[in-house]
Amino acid sequence: MDEACYNILLQLRLPDIHLISLEAFESDDMELLNSKQNRSLLEYYFTCTPSLPLFILDRNPAVDVITYLDADLFFFQDPQPIYAEMGDSSIAIIEHRFPPHLADRIQYGIYNVGWLSFRRDNSALTCLHWWRERCLEYCHDVAQDGRFADQKYLDDWPKLFQKVVVLQHKGANLAPWNLANYHLQTHDHHLWVDEQLLIFFHFHGLRRIADWLYDPNLSGYGVKLSKVVRHSIFEPYLQAMLLVSKQLECAVKVTSLPRGAKGPATHPSHQFSNSPRYIISKTRGIMQIGKALLTRQYIFVLGGHTI
């Protein structure tokens, strides 16, 4: 959703990836651009959610089914079982599946905007246009008057639109807020959620505190960072993220430096390693991390492995 990201992805030339620039997406959509003036950048991103599938469907008549995915999903298995469950339905949505101790979170929506599938038919298109109008009217990052961002509007879909299926696969959209519902175990090198394979996990709120330290955002949901969660869910994701980060660093260096130029011999932060201000800042950061470790569950990454 910005020019820098678009340009980097353009340079990478990833196979089977069709890029859409923000400029092209926003062009000639004055309603969307007007909404940008009265909300934060995050809220504007939420506002764009229903407009993006409509933009793609309008310009690609061969697309029969389109699926919106949040950017913080990671797939462990082929999503074919999800599409099989959708069948010939027009719209596929998925519940948050909050456990009893998180029942108050329902104020943010029964359903999660993490995976949404739409078929090119009257029901799905009517839904998308209705959702777009609601988001243009109100799409703020606060639960208020029965609304919340782009998400709370989904509560009404099964009542308002035809052929809406609520996906039931337990391995779809496993997340910090619903981990407490299930028994997890590994078998034949796969992770099972009760009796079903994990298809994708929603890494909501995962935060990098340092290159070697991550907050998995579990403690706020009353979930223990168990061995199986640490090594079978977070470790593969963090390994993939580290690999992609290295590839991106190389791509950016290659494409951003003039021909024949050389990059700095050391990381830019090393230039300040002897600065008193840097030392104080670093010390405070370590103290903050130390205090946090007393109350939260963290993941350490050493040599590409979590501990």
* pLDDT tens digit sequence for 89-136: 999 999 999 999 999 999 999 999 999 999 999 999 999 999 999 999
Using the 3D structure, point to which of 197, 213, 240 is the last residue of a domain: 197
Using the 3D structure, point to which of 177, 197, 217 is the last residue of a domain: 197
Same domain, 120 and 188: yes
Query: Does 301 reside within a domain?
Result: yes
User: CB burial class (10 A; 0-12, 13-18, 19+) of residue 205?
Assistant: middle
Query: Does 15 reside within a domain?
Result: no
Quick one: average pLDDT of 60-76? 97
Quick one: average pLDDT of 44-73? 97
Same domain, 162 and 69: yes
Max Cα-Cα span within the chain: 65
Does residue 300 surpass a pLDDT of 90? Answer: no
SS3 label, residue 194? coil
Query: Does 94 reside within a domain?
Result: yes
Query: Does 260 reside within a domain?
Result: no
Least confident piece of the model among 3-12, 154-163, 212-221, 267-276: 267-276
Phi, psi of 150 (to 5 degrees): -90, -5
pLDDT of res. 297: 77
As for how many domains the chain has, the answer is 2
Same domain, 189 and 108: yes
Query: Does 30 reside within a domain?
Result: no
DSSP result, 216-236 = -S-GGGT----HHHIIIIIHH
Least confident piece of the model among 36-45, 123-132, 142-151, 211-220: 211-220
Check residues 8 and 42 and name the one with the higher pLDDT: 42
Same domain, 75 and 176: yes
Using the 3D structure, point to which of 157, 174, 197 is the last residue of a domain: 197
pLDDT of res. 296: 60
Same domain, 182 and 246: no
pLDDT of res. 2: 85
pLDDT of res. 187: 92
Does residue 273 surpass a pLDDT of 80? Answer: no
Query: Does 217 reside within a domain?
Result: yes
Quick one: average pLDDT of 76-80? 97
Same domain, 73 and 183: yes
Same domain, 146 and 217: no
Percent of the chain at pLDDT exceeding 70: 83
Structure tokens at 239: 């390994």
Domain region containing 228: 205-252+289-307
Helix H or strand E segment including 189: none
Same domain, 171 and 241: no
Same domain, 237 and 147: no
Query: Does 51 reside within a domain?
Result: yes
Query: Does 18 reside within a domain?
Result: no
Query: How does DSSP classify residue 258?
Result: P
Does residue 278 surpass a pLDDT of 50? Answer: no
Residue found under tokens 């777009």: 132
